[in-house]
Amino acid sequence: MEQRSHVRIGVEYSAAFSGSSYRADGTVLNLSMVGCRCRTGMVVQSGDTLRLLIHVPRYEHPLYVALAEVRWSQGQEFGVEFIHMELEDRHRLAQVIRG
């Protein structure tokens, strides 16, 4: 069994995804400091890059991931690695992970 180096929490946050040729709404299913698992009606491919807005209920403004890369895709679910986030969003993400 693969051992993860970052804490991953189960969530159900609405999200918006945008790539070079699409925009879609969906759900973030789990979240860590380095990435997340998502579900959306669009099929995305491994290697795609996208931007994410993650709507965390306790925050007025969504978390913004300026650049993420799809690492795996299976049906309507996929996993992304966060490549670039502004420092403020990274701090807010850490607060979410800590609970």
Average pLDDT over residues 14-28: 93
Q: What percent of the chain has pLDDT over 90?
A: 82
Counting beta carbons within 10 angstroms of the beta carbon of residue 32, is it exposed (0 to 12), middle (13 to 18) or buried (19 or more)? middle
Two tokens, residue 62: 């969504």
From first CA to last CA, the distance across the chain in angstroms is 26
pLDDT digits (tens, 9 = 90+) for 42-76: 888 999 999 999 999 999 999 999 999 999 999 99
Q: pTM above the 0.75 mark?
A: yes
Average pLDDT over residues 18-40: 94
Residue 1 pLDDT class (50, 70, 90 cuts): very low
